[in-house]
Amino acid sequence: MVGIVIISHSRTLAEGVAEMARALGVGKAVVEPAGGDLEGGLGTSIDLVETALAAADGGDGVVLLADLGSSVLTAKMLIEDADRDDVLLADAPLVEGAVAAASMAATGADLATVHAAAESARDHRKAG
């Protein structure tokens, strides 16, 4: 199953989005939070993202969703440093993208389909 990692400046926000995505993904999706800095404050930590990535990675790839600026940069740096083609960053709103990705991942869809589902949330948001 494709895993999902929620990257946020806030640990509470990342955990809440992950909880919601898991629940709306029928509880089958693997969604891991990576929020805040190592001390529990606001910020981003590549170490926390790497840990969440390892926990979410079941072998079928991982979709990353990030909230703001440096979270996106952290995700891009991780992908570049890891030199993996099975980890994709979705350009999507955090909550809607996570729910769409988790719902699709729960069906057993492949990485490209889960990634596309997350990004489709961006398009639906613009249309609404």
At residue 28 the predicted structure's pLDDT band, cuts being 50, 70 and 90, is confident
Alpha helices in 1-128 (DSSP H): 11-24, 46-56, 69-82, 94-105, 111-127
CA 87 – CA 15 distance, rounded (Å) = 20
Please give the pLDDT value at position 127: 56
Q: What is the pLDDT of residues 62-115, one digit of tens each?
A: 999 999 999 999 999 999 998 889 999 999 999 999 999 999 999 999 999 999
User: How many Cβ atoms are within 10 Å of 106's Cβ, its own excluded?
Assistant: 21
Domains for the chain: give ranges and CATH numbers.
3-127 (3.40.50.510)
For residue 32, give the nearest of 85, 87, 82, 109 by alpha carbon.
Answer: 87
At residue 128 the predicted structure's pLDDT band, cuts being 50, 70 and 90, is low
What pTM was estimated for this model as a whole?
0.94
Residue 30: helix, strand or coil by DSSP? strand
For residue 95, give the nearest of 31, 26, 1, 2 by alpha carbon.
Answer: 31
CA 58 – CA 2 distance, rounded (Å) = 7
